[in-house]
Amino acid sequence: MTETVIDPADPGLPPVEPDAPALVVSDLRVWFDTARGLVRAVDGVDLRVDAGRTLGVVGESGSGKSVLSRAVMNILAPSAVVLPGSRIEIEGHDTATLTKQQARHLWGARIAMVFQDPMTSLTPVLTIGRQLTETLRHHTGVDKAAALARAEELLRWVGIPEPARRLGQYPHNLSGGMRQRVGIALALSCSPRLLIADEPTTALDVTVQHQILNLLGRLQSEEGMAMILITHDLGVVAGRTDDIAVMYAGRVVEQAPTTTLFGEMRHPYTRALVRSIPRIADPSHTRLRTIPGRPPTVIDPPPGCAFAARCPHARPRCLAETPRLDGHHPGNVTPGHRHACFFPVGTPQGEQAFADNLAEGRTAAGLPIDERSVL
């Protein structure tokens, strides 16, 4: 991408296999000790992102996707408890076993993050240039002049006009879209192998959203880095990701290559999400499709599947047992496509479950349904 090549400081990490995945998360549980109880924000998540691939993580507010990203980036609040048994591997290195020196140059350099709200994620009292050079010098040890030069290149690279002038400006002098570009420049300054973008466009205007997403895509392919795109908006991930993981109540309920997910979704929640996207082609006054029921309890949740209370396929088994992502469920035939449901969409078991519920007029969880309830 740029002329000056700056090598990140060598953190002394053991060498990696060339095709080690950029990120592997295994059985991650992050619980928070709050006044109201133990909040199980992330309750057993398994993920894998290979080098150079893009993973979209989709879920509603409270699904745990932000906590997940913070856990991976090691910036959780002090009240968070990462339960033993959780494992996070970045480029094959177990983050729990890093030395201080190794950790110092991992986050921010090998793996970086772009935040949701550009209005608040840049330090207001430091100039853009200062924030950029600070990160560069911390991770690469170059001198001030080289850092400034590289900072200017970075700004140009992310598409900010007049980059030299911007270096001396403060965040409040820039518009929201430009600030987000600066945030991206900051994250990519040390050429990370993995970028986590946590709702990078939610706080932006629609027109700017498109530009930012395109920018991210371009930068990613230029650098060959892996990316995790976190959002609640399925439309954002539709054309821009290789794989998608759908989260609900702190767990991944379905993970599949993007085309497969949209074409052959298995989990009822995924189907509900996809169906809830309003279509321009629909006639006016079409009722928006919603998911009935209330958001799940993440404080001391009851046993069983978290989505059972809102699922038209819910059977008694769903209230007693928790389906696991790597379990052997019907319809789990394609490698790379996993889901956690006993009665998935598009399988005989699932259709039977729905028929049974229809006959009784309600699901095993007590949700009343009729023919129109096929979400």
Q: Which residues bind another protein (CB under 8 A)?
A: 29, 31, 33, 35, 38, 70, 73-75, 81, 83-85, 104-109, 112-113, 115-117, 120-126, 134-135, 138-139, 170, 172, 183, 186-187, 300, 303-304, 317, 320-322, 324, 327
User: Concatenated DSSP letters for 269-297?
Assistant: HHHHHHHTS--TTSPTTPPPP---S-PPP
By DSSP bridging, strand 80-82 and strand 37-49 are: unpaired
- The letter for the amino acid at 158 is V
Given the complex with another protein, which of 123 and 352 has the nearer CB atom?
A: 123
Q: Are 367 and 308 in contact (CB under 8 A)?
A: no
Q: How far is the CB of 107 from another protein (least distance, A)?
A: 4
Given the complex with another protein, which of 35 and 280 has the nearer CB atom?
A: 35
Name the residue with tokens 């029921």: 293
Q: Are 124 and 170 in contact (CB under 8 A)?
A: yes
Q: How far is the CB of 319 from another protein (least distance, A)?
A: 9
Residue in 192, 159, 205, 254 with CA at minimum distance from that of residue 51: 192
Residue in 38, 126, 28 with CA at minimum distance from that of residue 73: 28
Given the complex with another protein, which of 48 and 317 has the nearer CB atom?
A: 317
Name the residue with tokens 């008694």: 316
Q: How many CA atoms lie within 13 A of 261 on its CB side?
A: 30
Given the complex with another protein, which of 18 and 84 has the nearer CB atom?
A: 84
Q: Are 54 and 226 in contact (CB under 8 A)?
A: yes
Q: How far is the CB of 288 from another protein (least distance, A)?
A: 28
Give 160's contacts (C-beta < 8 A, 6+ positions apart). Answer: 166, 178, 181, 182, 185
Given the complex with another protein, which of 302 and 336 has the nearer CB atom?
A: 302
Residue in 70, 93, 91, 90 with CA at minimum distance from that of residue 82: 70
CA atoms 175, 227, 18, 89: torsion sign:
positive
What gap in Å lies between CA 305 and CA 267, rounded to an integer?
12
Given the complex with another protein, which of 265 and 305 has the nearer CB atom?
A: 305
Q: How far is the CB of 124 from another protein (least distance, A)?
A: 6
Strand partners, 297: none
Q: How far is the CB of 121 from another protein (least distance, A)?
A: 4
Given the complex with another protein, which of 328 and 372 has the nearer CB atom?
A: 328
Given the complex with another protein, which of 8 and 273 has the nearer CB atom?
A: 8
What gap in Å lies between CA 306 and CA 302, rounded to an integer?
8
Q: How far is the CB of 259 from another protein (least distance, A)?
A: 30
Nearest-10 Cα torsion for 235, 240, 242, 248: -30
Q: How far is the CB of 312 from another protein (least distance, A)?
A: 21
- The letter for the amino acid at 233 is D
Q: How far is the CB of 72 from another protein (least distance, A)?
A: 10
Given the complex with another protein, which of 97 and 207 has the nearer CB atom?
A: 97
Given the complex with another protein, which of 229 and 244 has the nearer CB atom?
A: 229
Q: How far is the CB of 370 from another protein (least distance, A)?
A: 29
Q: Are 274 and 58 in contact (CB under 8 A)?
A: no
